[in-house]
Structure 1
Amino acid sequence: MVRHNNQLPDNLPQLQNLIKRDPDSYRDDFRQQYQHFLSSLEVFALNPGEENQSLDELVMFIAQVAQCYPEECVKFPQHLVDLLKNHATTLDPIMRNCFVKALILMRNKNLIPAIDLLELFFQLLTCPDKNLRSFLQTHIITDIKNMNAKHKDMKLNSTLQNFMYSMLKDANPKAAKMSVDIMIELYKKNIWNDAKTVNVIATVGCFSKIMKVLVASLKFFLGHDDEEKGSDDSDSDNEVDLKGALMQNRVNKKTKKRKKQLEQIKKQAIKAQKKKKNAPAFNFSGIHLVHNPQGMAEGLFKQLQSTNERFEVKLMHLDVISRLIGIHQLFLFGYYPYITRFLQPHQRQVTRIMQFAAQASHELVPGDIIEPVLKTIANNFITERNSSDVMAIGLNATREICMRCPLAMGEELLRDLAMYKTYKEKSVMMAARSLIMLYREQLPALLHKKDRGRLTEAQAERKIRAYGEVEVHETIPGAEALLKDSKEIDLGSDDDSDSNDGQWVNVSHSEDEGGNMESGEEDDDEEDGEEENEDEDDDDDDEEENTENEDDESDAGEEDEEVETDEKSESCVKENLKKKKANDDKLIGVQVLDAKEAAQELAMTRIFTDEDFRRINAAQLKKTVTNARKRPLEKDRAEFVKLNSIEMIYKKRKHDKESRLETVKAGREDREKFGWKDGRKNEHSSKTNSEKRKRKNFVMMRHKARSKVKKSFRDKQRAMRKHLLHQKKMK
C-alpha cells in the first residue's frame, strides 16, 4: 500500500509518537531518519563550531525512541561520545548541550554504562561553559546517588573516586573546583562518606594552589552549612501561610477541598515547629576521619606562615588547625606564639581568634606553652583602661582556655583575676566569678582561701590530676549508691523526683546564675569571716591565759602544784580526743574502702537496670548540690568552643522599639495632655501676636528676620549712652 502525502519524514514529533505506540510498523521510517542522522553528522564533523538545527532535532528524536530499536541504535551513543571527546571545547554550545542531554536521556534508560558516561562528563568539566558545568554537576551527583540508593556499589564508587581524584589535581581551576564540590556534596548526602574521600580532600584540596579549591576544602572541615538559612526562611513562610489559611477558612465557603488544604498546611506547620525545637546538628565527623592529623596541621601551619592571601583565608587556616589540635590532642607549639600576635582589642575578628586559642588548648599541652597566651589576654584585655565589655570578653576567653588546660594558669595571675569579682560593672564581675567557679572544681588550691567556697561531696571525691595523668575508673562511678537504701538517695520533695525522673537538670545561663553565685560567695565570705574571728578569739584567749599564768607565778608560788596537775589533766584529755579522732578516721577510711570494694564487686556480678542507673544519677546529683550551688556541675567539655561563650556579657540589654513604645504609652496613662502649656484659663480664647508668630510660615516673617541684623560695637555704645541719659532724665 502506497501512502500519499506522507509528511512523517518532516514531522519528527508525530513520528516519535507513532513509533512509541507501534515500533514494528515504523521501523523503515526510523532507519531512514537514522541514515539521515549519520550523513548529517559527517557534514557537521567538518565544521563543529557552527550550529545545525536539523542535526539537533535528529539527535533528540533518536534518543527518545532508542529503546524501541536497540539493535539499530547500538553505535549511536558512541558517535556522540567520540564527537564530544574530540571537539569538546570547539563545539557550538547549543550543539554540545544537545549531545549531553541526549546521552543523559539514554543513560536514564540504561542504554549506556554509567562509568563511561561519567568519565566523559568529568572531562567536559574543563569546558568554558558555566551552565553546562552546573548541569553536569547536578547530573553526576544525582546519578551516583541513584546508583547507591539500594546498596553501595563499592567497585563502581572506587573507580569513580579514583577518576575524581585525578581531576582534583587537574591544572584547570574550573574542573578542579567542580570536582571538589561534587565530592563534598556526595559526602553531605552520605554517599561517599568514607575516610578515603575525606583524606583526599585533606591532602589534595587543602594544599591546592587554586584558591577556590583551597577555600572549599577548608570550609568542608569547618562544617559550614548554608542550607540552614533557607530552612529558617521556609519555616517563617510556613507560619505566615498557616495564619493566612486559617483566616481564609473563617471567611470563605466551607468545602472539602479547602478543608483538605488546611489540614496539609497544619501538618507542614507542625513539622516546621518541631524542626525549630530540635537543637541544630552539625556533622563534624570529617575532621575525625583524617589519617594523619599531625601532618595536616603542620602543613597547614607552614602554608599559613607563607601565604599572602586575605585575612579571611588566614582565619580559616587558624580555625581548621585549632580544631585538629583540640580534637586529636596534637602538639604544635609554634601555633600559640603565632596566634598571640593577633590578640589585641583593636584586631579585626579578635573574638574568633580567642575562640581558636581556646580550641587549640587541651590537657596534654604543657602549661608553660599556653601561659603566655593567658598573660597576653590579661595585659591587653583585662585592664581598667579598657571598657567593661572588652574586660568581660578577655575573662571569658581565659575561662574557656583554662577549662581545657587548667594547668596553664598560674597562682599569682589567677588571684589577680579573681579580684575582679567585686568590680563595679556586672559583666566583668560575672565573668570573673565564672573563672573562680571553674577553678573551684579543677584546682581549688590555686585560689585564695576565701574564694574556694565550701567543698561538696563530689569535689571531695574528685582527684586532682597531674600533667598527663588519665583518670581510670575501676567501677561505675556512684555504684555504691545501690548499696544504700533508696530512701537515702532522695533529692527533695516527691514533685521534684517525679518531674526530673532522676535525670540531669538543664539550667540556662542567665543573670539568675550570677545571683546564686553572689549569695553563695556571701555565705562563704561570712563563714570565712567567722572562722577568722574564731581564730582571733582563740589567740586572745591564749594571750589572756599566758598573762594570767604569769601573774599567778609572780603573785603566789604556792599554787604551782595545783596548776601543774590541771595542765596534766588537760593534756591527757587532749591526747584521748586525738586518739579517738584518729580511730574514727580509720573507721571512716575502712568503711569507704569497703564501700568501693563492694560497689566494684556489685558492678562485676550484676547487670544494672534502668532503675539502678536512675538511682546512681540521683545520688551523683545529690553529691554535687549544696547550699552554695544551685545547679549540677558541668564536667564534660565540648569539642568546639562556641563563640557565644566568649562574647557572653552579663548586662541589661536595651529594649527594642516595640517594648520601648509600650513603656512610653504606659507612662502616658492617667496623665494630663502632653505638650506646652500656656497661661490661658480658657483654651478657646484668642492668642497674642507673639504666640501666633511662632506658628506662621517663614515667608510671612522673613522681613522681620532681615531687620534683626547684628549691631556693631559703635551702635551698641550709642544705644547704651542713649539709655543711660534717658534713665538720668527720668530721675
Structure 2
Amino acid sequence: MVRGILLTSNLPQLQNLIKRDPESYKEEFLQQWNHYNSIREIFGTNPGEQAEHFRELVTFISQVATCYPKETAGFPTQLSDLLLTHYLVLPVDTRKTLVTNLVMLRNKNVITSIDLMKTLFPLLPQTPSPTLRAFIRKTIISDIRLANVKTQNHKLNNSVQAMLFNMVERGMDGEMTGNKGKTKIVPSTGVRSTNDEAMWAIIMAKELWKKGIWKDAKTVSIIAQGCLHPSVKVQSASLHFFLNDEEEPNSDEEGDEEVDVRSLHHQRQINKKTRSGDKKLQKKLTHAKKKKYNKPEALAEFSALRLLRDPQTFAEKLFDLLHHHDKKFDLDHRILIMQLLSRIMGSHQLCVLNFYTYVIKYLFHKQLRVPSILVALAQSVHDLTPPDVLTPVIRKIAQDFVHPGVANEVIAAGINSVREVCQRQPWAMEEDLLHDLVEYRKSRDKAVLASARGLLRLYREVNPGMLKKNDRGKEATMGIASGAKALPFGHAASAAMDIDGLTLLEDHLRETGGGEDGSDDDSYAWNKWEVESDSDESESESEGWVDVSDGDSKALDISDSEDEDEPKEPKPEIDPKRLSILATTKILTPADFALLNSLKASNSESTTASAARNKRKLDSEPASNSQFLSEQDILGPRKKAKADYEERMASVRAGREGREKFGSRKGKQNKAAPSSTTNREKARNKPIMMIMGSDAVRGKKKASLRDKQQKLRAHIRKGKISKH
C-alpha cells in the first residue's frame, strides 16, 4: 500500500520502473490510466481545470505506451481528437505538450506518419505561437524526408499531397480579394480561414520541393492550383515559386556572382598566410567548383514549368485571371502573372493569342516597370507564334519607343525589344519598319548604336532578303545569290527521323525470333487492348485502294528529276546513328509500345543515350527557347548613372575609415601637436614687396573714411560674438 502511494505521487520514478519491468507494475499503470480517463472527460468540458496534472499524465502514458500496447491502443486517437476539436480553447502549454507527445508516439512507431500528418497539417493555420508553429513545420519536413531517404514512400507522399491539394481546393470558391488600394483588416473570429490553409499548403509544398524531397508533377500541380486561388497572398507565393524569385534566407553566401579562381590564388600568395584565410579560400574554391558543375542543371531549369500536366489549359486560366480581375490587382502583381504566363508560353510553345492584344495597352515609354513588361512580351514569343498577331505589337513599340522625341535609353530599349521578339519570330517584322530601325545604327549614342546593329546582324542571319542591298553584307549577299531562302512560317529545319528506342525493340524481336520480316500475325498482340472501330473506316478499307487522280495521271507529281526549274530546299542530313526499319515494315501494336517502354526503362545504355540526345536537342535550340530574358537584355549597355546623395555619402564614409581626423594630415604624423598653418596665416608672413600690388593693399589705401568705420565696427561686433 505504501509502495503504491509513493509511486503514484512520483510519476517519473514509476515510469522508470515500468520500462524495466512492465508486468510487475501493470496495476500501478492501470491506476494512472483510469485517472487519466476521468480527468480527460472533465478536461473536454473545462480545459483549464487540472491542466497541469493532465499534462503530466499525458507525458507519462506517452513514455510507457509501448509497454502496454493493448491498453493504450486508443490513446493516440484521443490526443488527436483533443487537438483537432479543442485546439483554440486549450492553454498554450497544453497544446505544446499534446503535440510533443504525439510526435513522440510517432518516433516510437506507435502511430504511422500518415496519422501524424492528418493531425499536424490542420494545426498549422491555427497556431498563433511562432515557436510551436516552427516545431510543427520542422516535424513535418523531417518526417517526410526520413520516409523518402532510401526509396520513395509513395503511400505517404500521395496521402500528404492529397491533404495539401484539399487545403488549397477548399478556398477556390471564394471571392477574389485583390490587392489594389488599402487592404481591409477583418477582426479575428477564432475560425480557421481557408486562405490560411491554402497559404500553409503552398509553403510546405515549396519547402519540400526546395529541399529535393518532392520533385514530381503532383507537387507542381498543388502550387499551380495556388496560382489560381482567390487570395492574392496565395497567388503571389505560388507565382514566385515558378518564377524562381522567392527570397531565400538560407541562400549561398557567395551570391550569384562569378568567382575568379585565378584571382583568389593570386591574393592568397601576396596576403598574409593564416588558417582562417586558408579556410575562406577553400570555401570559395568549393563554391566555384559546385557552380561550375551545376551550371548545366541550373540552365535546364525551371523544371517545375516542364512538369505542368496541361500547360495550355493552365496558361489560359492564368490569362483569364489576369484579364477579368485586372482592376483588382496592382501593377506588380499583374506583372508577376504576365511573367509566369510568358515563361509557360515560351517553354511549351503555346499560343494564347489574346495576351498580345492585352499587353498592347502597357506599351508606352512612361509606363511604370515597362522593362519587365517588355521582357514578358519577348519571352512569350516562339517559332509557332503567328506573325500577324505580333506585327501590331512591334508597330506599337516602334511608334512609342523609337522616335526623336524620347531619350536615347528609351530608343535603345524599344529596338532591343523588337530584336528579341524578331529573334523568336522573324516573320513578324515589316520590311519598311526594318529599314527605318536599322538606320539608327548611325546614332552617336552607344546604346542606340549597339541595339540597331544587333537588329541588323539578326536579319543578316535569318532573312537577309528583307534588308536593303547595301545592308546585307558579303556573306548574306552570297547566300542570296546561291539561292538560299529563309524558311517560311511553320517549317522546321530538320524533321523527325526515327522513333526513340525503336532499335531496342527491333533487336529484341530479332533475338526472340519474332517480327523479322513483319509478315507474322499480330492479332494476338491486340488482345486485352480496347480499339475503337469506325464503320466508315472499315468500309473504306474493305473497298481497297482509292484512286485520287480522277483519271489525271499528272495530278500527283512524284518525279525525282533534278532538271526542274524551281529550286528545291536542301534535304535534311540523316543522323549517322543507326535507323530502324521496323516502323516501315510492321504495324506497332499497343503491346509493342508497352514492350518498348519497358526496354527503354531497363536498358541503362538506352537511357543514357536518350538523355544525351535530349541534352543535344536542348543545346541546339535557339537561345530564346532555352533560357529566359532579363531586364538588362532589354535596356542594353548603359552609361554609369550619376550617384545619388546616399551613394556619395557612403563613398565619403568609406574614404574616412582609418583616418585620425578629417582634413589635411600635414605636420600631424610625427608630432604630438598640430603645426600646420592656414593660408591666412601664411599671407601675414609674406614680404611687403610681394603684396604691394595686390588688390587688398591697394584697396586699403584708397578706402574712404566710411568704409574704414564699417570694417572697424564689424571687427568689434565679431569680437563680441566670439567672446560669448
Asked whether the 8 Å contact 2:22–2:67 carries over to 1, the reply is yes
CA gap 1:379/1:62 in 2 versus in 1, 3 angstroms: same
The whole-number CA distance in structure 2 between the counterparts of 1:392 and 1:302 is 32
Report the equivalent of 1:391.
411
Inter-partner Cα distance in structure 2 for 1:220 and 1:361: 22
- Counterpart AA for 2:149: A
- Residue 665 (structure 1) aligns with: none
Opposite residue 293 of structure 1, the aligned amino acid is: P
2:179: which partner in 1? none
Of the three residues 669, 694, 704, the one matched with 2:714 is: 704
State which drifts further: 25-34 or 640-649.
Answer: 25-34
Question: Partner of 2:126: helix, strand, or coil?
Answer: coil
Judging changes above 3 Å, is the alpha-carbon distance between structure 1 residues 54 and 701 closer, same or farther for their aligned structure 2 residues? farther
Q: Is the 8 A contact 2:408 2:447 kept in 1?
A: yes
Tell me, what secondary structure is at the counterpart of 1:424?
coil
1:63 aligns with 2:62: yes
1:281 alignment partner, one of 298, 311, 325: 298
Q: 1:100 to 1:458 in 2, by over 3 A?
A: farther
1:226 and 2:214 are equivalent in the alignment: no
Larger relative helix fraction: 1
> What amino acid maps onto 1:74 in structure 2?
A
Equivalent residues in 2 for 1:613-652, closer than 5 Å:
637-651=625-639
Residue 159 (structure 1) shift: 2.8
Contact 1:122–1:167 (8 Å) recurs in 2: no
CA distance in 2, matches of 1:633, 1:433: 23
Q: Specify the SS of the correspondent of 1:341.
A: helix
Classify the secondary structure of the residue corresponding to 1:393: helix
Q: Distance in 2 between matches of 1:634 and 1:180?
A: 34
Whole-Å separation in 1 of the counterparts to 2:438 and 2:14:
88
Following superposition of structure 1 onto structure 2, how do residues 222-261 of structure 1 map, counting pairs within 5 Å?
222-227=243-248, 230-232=251-253
Deviation of 1:287 after TM superposition, in Å, equals 1.8
Q: Cα distance, 1:75 vs. partner?
A: 2.7
The CA deviation at 1:374 is 1.2
1:635 Cα shift? 6.7
- C-alpha displacement at 1:355, in angstroms? 0.4
Q: How much does 1:70 deviate? A: 3.5
Q: How does 1:302-313 map to 2 (within 5 A)?
A: 302-307=320-325, 308-313=328-333
Instruction: Encode CA deviations 1:363-402: one digit per residue, 9 max, x unaligned.
Output: 2222221111111111111112211111111111111111
How high is the sequence identity, in percent, across the aligned residues? 35
Match of 2:555 in 1: none
Q: State the partner residue of 2:347.
A: 327
Distance (Å, rounded) in 1 between the aligned partners of 2:50 and 2:712: 76
Letter in 2 for 1:317: I
Q: Does structure 2 conserve the Cα–Cα contact (< 8 Å) formed by 1:137 and 1:178?
A: no
What is the match of residue 212 of structure 1?
233
Q: What CA deviation, in whole Å up to 9, does each residue of 1:225-273 have, x standing for no partner?
A: 433773236899x99xx99xx99x9899xxxxxx7x8876664443234
CA distance in 2, matches of 1:157, 1:602: 44
How far, CA to CA, are the matches of 1:386 and 1:102 in structure 2?
Answer: 68
AA at the equivalent of 2:435: R
Structure 2 residue identity aligned to 1:420: Y
- Post-superposition offset of 1:404: 0.6
CA distance in 2 between counterparts of 1:267 and 1:37 reads: 58
Between 163-172 and 446-455, report the one with greater CA deviation.
Answer: 163-172
The letter of the residue matching 2:630 is K
Quote the offset at 1:646 in angstroms: 0.9
Number of matched pairs: 536
Aligned to 1:270: 285
Match of residue 466, structure 1, among 481, 484, 488: 488
Q: Provide the secondary structure at the position in 2 that maps to 1:355.
A: helix
Asked if 1:196 is matched to 2:218, the reply is yes
Q: What CA distance in whole angstroms lies between the structure 1 residues aligned with 2:691 and 2:319?
A: 80
* Cα distance in 2 between the residues matched to 1:220 and 1:328: 18
1:438 and 1:148 map into 2 onto residues whose CA distance is: 49
Structure 1: gaps of 5 or more residues: 253-258, 477-584, 607-631, 663-672, 692-699, 709-731
Per-residue CA shift, 1:569-602, capped at 9, x if unaligned? xxxxxxxxxxxxxxxx99xxx9x99xx99x8596
- Residue pair 2:344, 2:350 contacting (<8 A) in 1 also: yes
- What is the alpha-carbon distance in structure 1 between the residues aligned to residue 319 and residue 256 of structure 2? 41
Q: Which amino acid aligns with 2:93?
A: I
Partner of 2:93: 94
Aligned partners of 2:254 and 2:284 also within 8 Å = no
Sort the Cα spacing of 1:230 and 1:154 in 2 relative to 1 into closer, same or farther, 3 A.
Answer: closer
Deviation of 1:125 (Å): 3.8
Distance 2:79 2:331 in 1: 47
Partner AA of 1:157 in structure 2: N
Decide whether the 8 Å contact of 1:355 with 1:641 is kept in 2.
yes
Give the SS at the match of 1:230.
coil
Partners of 1:399 and 1:99 lie apart in 2 by: 62
Choose from 392, 407, 429 the match for 2:427: 407
Matching residue's letter, 1:292: D
Aligned to 1:141: 141
1:74-105 CA distance string (max 9 Å, x none):
33212212222332333233312221111011
Give the residue type in structure 2 aligned to 1:468: G
Give 1:111 shift: 0.9
Structure 1 residues 49 and 173: alpha-carbon distance in aligned structure 2, compared to 1, 3 A threshold: farther
Q: Is the 8 A contact 1:355 1:642 kept in 2?
A: yes
| Structure 1 residues 545-556: aligned runs within 5 Å | none
User: Cα distance, 1:649 vs. partner?
Assistant: 1.8
Q: Is the 8 A contact 1:474 1:600 kept in 2?
A: no
TM-score (norm 2): 0.64
Q: What are the superposed Cα offsets for residues 654-703 of structure 1, whole Å, 9 maximum, x if unpaired?
A: 799899999xxxxxxxxxx9997999696699999979xxxxxxxx9995
Matched-pair contact (CA < 8 Å) for 1:430–1:650: no
- Structure with higher Rg: it is 1
Q: Distance in 2 between matches of 1:227 and 1:85?
A: 32
Correspondences of 1:442-591 after superposition (within 5 Å): 442-455=462-475, 464-472=486-494
Indicate the structure whose relative CO is greater, using CA pairs within 8 Å and at least 6 residues apart.
Answer: 1
SS in 2 for 1:94: helix
Ranges in structure 2 where 5+ consecutive residues have no aligned partner: 172-193, 499-561, 581-619, 656-675, 698-709, 719-724
Q: Residues 463, 106 of structure 1: CA spacing in aligned structure 2 closer, same or farther, 3 A cutoff?
A: farther
Inter-partner Cα distance in structure 1 for 2:105 and 2:712: 85
Aligned positions of 1:665-704 closer than 5 A = 703-704=713-714
Of residues 316, 334, 338 in structure 2, which corresponds to 1:298? 316
Distance 1:28 1:209 in 2: 57
